[in-house]
Amino acid sequence: MAGLTESVRNIWKIEELRRRILYTLGLLLVYRLGAFVTLPGVDASRLAQINATSDPNNLLGLLDMFVGGAFSAAGIFALGIMPYITASIIIQLMGAVVPYFQKLQREGEDGRRKITQLTRYGTIGITAMQAVAFSINLRFGATGQAIVIDETFFTISTVIVLTAGTMFVMWLGERITENGIGNGISLIIMIGIVAFLPTSLLNEFELSGNMFIFLMELGVFAAVTAGVVLVTQGMRKIPVQYAKRVVGRKVFGGSTQYLPLRVNAAGVMPIIFAQSIMFVPATFASFFPESQFMQQFGIFFTDISSWGYSAVFFTICVFFTYFYTAISVNPREMADTMKRQGGFIPGIRPGKHTSEFIDNILTRITLPGSIFLGAVAILPAFAMRMGVTAGFAMFFGGTSLLILVGVTLDTLKQVESHLLMRHYDGFMKSGRMRGRR
């Protein structure tokens, strides 16, 4: 505890780090304030009364968690940053199959700027469509009683305000990444989840009606969280070795180094991508409130406690783990770099053979990481089947827990690097977070 206190004290001794942290906290505060600003034409008090009797056991409740309650409160940031995530997924998928986007990826900084610009345009389009669906959901659902202005004007104003709100949130995330500490987009998602936790705990305590059961649930939650932290840290640092040969080793003039191959090179991004994809069918179905078939289709993608939803979500998590690893780790580029620097893998010829070898190993070691992400993603479904309320069950695994753990570890790692660069002790004087020998 004394070491942790000393590390926190050291943070405020570093002017740049202190400025970055305060800047990040300030922008996150602005984002949270936006969750309490209701859309024009909505009676906030009447909407709160309607939401008090609604069932959160669906995908809309999960989306509400990601935006810190802004979705159910019809806030100006109700769609949060998820349209930007969806646009990023689409652009990255096109980069794997469309020659134009592949060319942009090879153009260096200019290509990245064009891709970023296209992603922003895509975000505007996706946000506009989701805003239309959001307005339809408000008008034709039970919340329609809270709308106090003309429906046509309400739809137009909702699309404009929500689109502007999402673009502003995207800008906040970019500013945090550039001038603050941590990944801004991930921190914005995390802060919404953290804001939802106190309410979920209070509801769980009130509905359980038994202090012993509530404490048991807290114990299980703490154990699951600790397990995810340990496995996540271990997967980041496990040395890639096999019994008969050392894998991923490169030799420079007699010195041995390991290639940066990890069991889960994709981090928390695959589960964020997967969750964004799961929002799409429900959004599409909301455009047809009078179609029974479309409503049944939407229910399949909103009932997060069903086995069908869990199976689809697990599969998508595994797919995106491989996909994100493939676009973030390039075996051919790694092999070419080794060849230029005079490095090699013992027993493997440089060039194409090295690239194929690294790709084969990367495919194998990604499998346990993808299964881990998929398994944790569907843990809330099991928690709900055991009697845990839907709100608190979201924290027993799934997207929320992985984001909390992953984003927290990544942010602490950046703070740690600032401390070590200035010769201060970090949060762990020994151990793996520091990454020093």
Q: What is the pLDDT of residue 70?
A: 79
- Structural domains present in the chain: 2-421 (1.10.3370.10)
In angstroms, the CA 423 to CA 120 distance is 40
| pLDDT surpasses 80 at 125 | yes
Nearest Cα neighbor of 299 from 58, 51, 53 is: 58
Residue 260 near residue 333 (C-beta atoms within 8 A): no
Q: What integer is the mean pLDDT of 44-73?
A: 70
Residues 6+ apart with CB under 8 A from 193: 65, 66, 68, 400, 403, 404
**Highest mean pLDDT: which of 20-24, 78-82, 182-186, 300-304?**
20-24
Q: What integer is the mean pLDDT of 41-64?
A: 70
Residues 6+ apart with CB under 8 A from 229: 405, 409
More confident residue, 236 or 141: 141
Residues 6+ apart with CB under 8 A from 301: 59, 278, 281, 282, 285, 309, 312
Torsion angles phi and psi, residue 427, rounded to 5 = -70, -25
Q: What percent of the chain has pLDDT over 90?
A: 10
Compute the chain's Rg from CA coordinates: 23
Least confident of 65-74, 262-271, 360-369: 262-271
Q: What is the pLDDT of residue 430?
A: 43
Q: What integer is the mean pLDDT of 55-83?
A: 74
More confident residue, 130 or 342: 130
| pLDDT surpasses 50 at 124 | yes
What SS3 string covers 216-228? HHHHHHHHHHHHH
More confident residue, 236 or 119: 119
Structure token pair of residue 211: 């202090």
Question: Model-level pTM?
Answer: 0.73
Confidence of residue 171 (pLDDT cuts 50, 70, 90): very high
Alpha-carbon distances of 11 from 22, 28, 175, 308, rounded to whole Å: 11, 19, 21, 47
| pLDDT surpasses 90 at 175 | yes
Q: What is the pLDDT of residue 313?
A: 86
Least confident of 131-145, 208-222, 239-253: 239-253
Confidence of residue 50 (pLDDT cuts 50, 70, 90): confident
| pLDDT surpasses 80 at 119 | yes
Q: Give the distance from CA 257 to its chain's centroid.
A: 32
Q: What integer is the mean pLDDT of 332-360?
A: 79
Mean predicted lDDT score pLDDT of the chain: 77
Alpha-carbon distances of 391 from 137, 274, 375, rounded to whole Å: 21, 20, 19
DSSP 3-state helix, strand, coil percentages of the chain (rounded to 5)?
A: 70, 5, 25
Q: Produce one character per residue of 319-340: b if its CB has 16 or more CB atoms within 10 Å, e if not.
A: bbbbbbbbeebebeebbeebee
Confidence of residue 118 (pLDDT cuts 50, 70, 90): very high
Residues 6+ apart with CB under 8 A from 430: none
Torsion angles phi and psi, residue 250, rounded to 5 = -125, 145
> For the chain, how long is the longest CA-to-CA vector?
76
* β-bridge partners, 249: 258
Q: What is the pLDDT of residue 239?
A: 42
Nearest Cα neighbor of 87 from 271, 277, 320 is: 277
Q: Give the model confidence (pLDDT) of 398-419 as tens digits.
A: 677 777 887 888 888 888 887 7
